[in-house]
Structure 1
Amino acid sequence: MSTNFNVDCEWLLQGDPWVTYNTLKTLLEMKEDAPEVGNARTSMIEHPLVKGFIEELKEWPLYPLKRHNDAKHPIHHLAVLADFGVTAHDLDKEIIQRILSYQSDEGAFEIDLLIPTHFGGSGNPERMWMACDAPLILYSLLKMGVHGPEIQKAVAHLGSLVTDTGVLCTGSSPMRGPGRKDDFCPYATLLVARALTQIPNVKNEAEKCTDQLLYHWEHQKERKLYLFGIGTDFRKLKYPCVWYDILHVAEVLSQYDFLKGDDRLKEIVDIIVSKQDEKGLITPESVWMAFKGWDFGQKKAPSHWMTFQVARILRRLSR
């Protein structure tokens, strides 16, 4: 059994239950109510690693975030669960309500942040939001099927972050990252574009974000934006999508039909495809140590999940 993307689905089906579940649904186009899909879904929800993340969410937001690429923080664990296909129905209602309760007056979802004094913060934990965290929380909730007035308010706020030049470095704190005030932040723009994939009728906002991300790719040799460059580390294949890197960018941009045929996106995807082995499998090139126990948390063997991810990207762009 194989797809048109040089990937053996039988091999993918030997992976963890979240790989099996998504392969059956996405690559093999089986219905949610098919027995095989249901069994894979049940196994996914009951898997110790998934259950561990779900249990952790009961203590949301667990601890103050000091840096946004802290892969062990629950905002990233929530996003991984959403990526896998875990829904709000799989979580205790108290978990969702706890996350929703962390909402600012503007509409953005907040977490506890600790910004050091030398970066312009108070040096103490404070409940706040930034454009490089709130959109990720909204993405996860939308992907999980959460609805309601809190979500509507957050969606409206998300749209307000988008300017003609992407998403600026902004938040409830006056503190900004290390960059020019009028530059867009590549990471924040990517997270907003990721959240917009879950919202209908936002092509105008999506185009503004994706235009800037592809502009950054096109002009990668000119200068970094808020220290985000496109070099060797950017090109290393890595999951989860915690930071600004090639797989994260391709995963988001490939979901927009209006970008099919864009030469810049093709360049990005061609680099990823060049990293497949002769069987079409993907081996992680960099890892987040917080995910050491997962198949994408090592660099010695192909990852079922990351191989599926690349196959899904190629499938989107071929349809």
Structure 2
Amino acid sequence: MDCYNYIIENSEAWLQYAVRLNVRNENKKNLQELRTQVITDVKIKKYLHDITDFHSILVRNHKNPDLPIHKLIFLLDIGLDTDVPEIQAAVKEIMAHKDENGVYQSLTNVPKHFGGSGTDIFSWCLCDAPLLLYGLLKAGIDYEKHIKQGVDYLLNFYEPHGFPCTVSQELGKFRGPGRKADCCPYATLIMLRLLISISEYKDSDMVKESADALLSLWENSLERHPYMFYMGTDFRKLKAPTIWYDIVSVVDVLSQIDSVREDVRFKEMIQLIKNKQDENGFFTPESVYQKYKGWDFGQKKKPSSYLTYRCCLILERQVFKSDKKN
């Protein structure tokens, strides 16, 4: 069964739109009627409303599905852009808070006993700043004028074993629960997501080494879990969307890096995902975020068209790369 054809014929308008735009490469001008259905969908309208007041939620837990940055990236991923007023408003709000190094900031509050000031303050850490830069990049904001400076500054923190837990000066001595010398797996993952979207870095040694850092954690998953990021049973459960640190999120990024395609560790991760595909080619969530109740990926009883879409994109990249090599 062609899963994409099934999705186009049977799924909600927003996912039909994503497949026709991102997989079938149809012209946006020919999808205007479908796009209208997307932006009037009840769940999409809620997301658009939520991102307008972009800094309405304190960034305290980066895996919180309610964070506007996660919702903005989801909307951009399915093919919406700054032509939508709410997305334009969100982009303007992000760009209104940038430090002298070109890094965009989030509103957060770190208690004094964790090394912060205990007050609401605009600042950044390496587990949110890359997402803001990535979101602006996906929104089509001029890279040279508004994004490059921040990216270049964050690259100063790169180490051969990955990106460490790093925060801006506003957050004082705060850092996550782990050894200072370790890489932060999540920061490394989202920095990779950002860098592979930028032509000058996509094939860089920095990307290759950061990818290897994540693959090394997979290889040594029983012994190594820096900053309490595990690659155990929960990590290996299929989950959507790709907002945190799990096998779909990690392999989604790694599958876009040519240098890892023949790596045995990467192939193991690919095979684990592939083994969970049913006889019709679909995937069923094995873990869910409770706040996604009402979405087809917010349940574990039946296949999810959206999770299937994400997993099929991953598997097709690997097939394409192998064919390209041959």
Equivalent residue letter for 1:153: Q
Hey, what's the Cα distance between the residues in 2 that align with 1:117 and 1:206? 35
Give the C-alpha shift of residue 119 in structure 1. Answer: 2.1
1:164-208 C-alpha deviation (Å, 9 max, x unpaired): 221000011231111111110001000101111211120222112
Change (3 A) 1:305 1:129: same
The answer to whether 1:306 aligns with 2:307 is yes
* 3-state SS of paired residue (1:214): helix
The answer to whether 1:165 aligns with 2:161 is yes
Residue number among 64, 68, 71 corresponding to 1:77 in the alignment: 71
Hey, what's the Cα distance between the residues in 2 that align with 1:232 and 1:133? 25
Indicate conservation of the 8 Å contact 1:115/1:123, yes or no. yes
Hey, what's the Cα distance between the residues in 1 that align with 2:154 and 2:37? 34
Partner of 1:86: 80
Worse-superposed segment, 154-163 or 299-308: 154-163
Give the C-alpha shift of residue 125 in structure 1. Answer: 1.7
* 3-state SS of paired residue (1:112): strand
Equivalent residue letter for 2:315: L
Q: Could you list the runs of 5+ residues in structure 2 that have no partner in the other structure?
A: 321-326
**What is the alpha-carbon root mean square deviation over aligned residues?**
1.8
Give the C-alpha shift of residue 30 in structure 1. Answer: 3.5
- Give the paired residue count: 313
Hey, what's the Cα distance between the residues in 1 that align with 2:57 and 2:234? 28
Give the C-alpha shift of residue 12 in structure 1. Answer: 4.8
Change (3 A) 1:8 1:71: closer
Indicate conservation of the 8 Å contact 1:102/1:109, yes or no. yes
Equivalent residue letter for 2:60: K
What TM-score comes out, normalization by structure 1 length? 0.92
1:148-297 equivalences in 2 (<5 Å): 149-172=145-168, 173=171, 174-202=173-201, 203-204=203-204, 205-297=206-298
Indicate conservation of the 8 Å contact 1:32/1:38, yes or no. no
Higher relative contact order (CA 8 A, sep 6+): 1
The answer to whether 1:32 aligns with 2:31 is no
After TM superposition, where is structure 1 displaced by more than 4 Å over at least 4 residues in a row?
none
Equivalent residue letter for 2:228: L
Worse-superposed segment, 52-61 or 167-176: 52-61
The answer to whether 1:96 aligns with 2:95 is no
Residue number among 5, 8, 12 corresponding to 1:9 in the alignment: 5
* 3-state SS of paired residue (1:233): coil
Indicate conservation of the 8 Å contact 1:13/1:19, yes or no. no
Indicate conservation of the 8 Å contact 2:131/2:190, yes or no. yes
What TM-score comes out, normalization by structure 2 length? 0.90
